[in-house]
Chains A and B, each alone.
Chain A
């Protein structure tokens, strides 16, 4: 990466930020509040990636219906991430397999990585925010 690419407008530093999402979308507030961080963080024009693993893969599952439990259904918001230039979305192959999910079950386009590939991806980051 060149020196110019490292600097965003205004002379700020661009770091590699990874949001690691490990919790189911409802049941606890972690998923909802972590999505809020991603959306606010987009204004800082950092190099953002997201990983969905463990029960976190359910955050982006199609066909969520939360009416019965009176919780907010925010799954559509993940489809808007593209507009925030958050386009690097990864899911854990093992987490998907354990839950009988495939990429077709998800509301967004993702890259499926195995544990070793995810470890490499994490190793490559400057900042990892784990939720």
Chain B
């Protein structure tokens, strides 16, 4: 089955991102396809490479990046939600006159149309959040 995933909550504050990751990993291990993971609301905070959790805790951001690399999963961060919360790639940083970018490997910034498209293309769109 082809799954789309939406993550609506930030890392560490809320379990939604953990659950979405576990779901994606389990689905891939069962041979399903993850068409796209779309990060929205505070979910965009899953995409900053500046995240530094204590060493004895899981690294939520790196875990997503590794999943993307290993399984070629498309990790998309909503541009409008990202701008509000200070998540930027090199292009966004330049366009908005910022002195740095912070997006983690494997993530890309794009528009809400990517979420709607996932809904259209996938057999199931699964939303993780409150």
Contact = CB atoms under 8 A, between A and B. Distances in A.
Interface of A: 12-13, 15, 17, 29-30, 33, 36-37, 40-41, 43-44, 46, 126-131
Contacts of A128: 125, 127
Interface of B: 6, 8, 40-41, 80-81, 84, 111-113, 115-117, 119-120, 125, 127, 129-130
Contacts, number: 52
Given A33-B81, A129-B127, A40 B116 contact: yes
A130 B6 CA distance: 10
A43 B116 CA distance: 10
Contacts of A131: 8, 129
Contact of B116 (A33, A46, A126, A130): A46
A30 B127 CA distance: 13
Contacts of B40: 33, 37
Given A37-B115, A127-B125, A131-B8, 13 more contacts: A12-B120, A15-B119, A17-B119, A36-B80, A37-B40, A41-B112, A44-B116, A44-B120, A128-B125, A129-B6, A129-B125, A130-B127, A130-B129
Given A127-B125, A130-B129, A44 B41 contact: no
Contacts of A44: 113, 116-117, 120
Contacts of B130: 30
Contact of B119 (A12, A43, A129, A130): A129
A46 to B, nearest CB: 7
19 contacts: A12-B120, A17-B119, A29-B84, A30-B8, A30-B41, A30-B130, A33-B80, A36-B80, A37-B116, A40-B111, A41-B116, A43-B113, A44-B113, A44-B116, A44-B120, A128-B125, A129-B119, A130-B129, A131-B129
B112 A37 contact: yes
Contacts of A37: 40, 112, 115-116
A12 to B, nearest CB: 7
Closest 4 interchain pairs by CB?
A127-B119, A40-B112, A41-B116, A44-B116
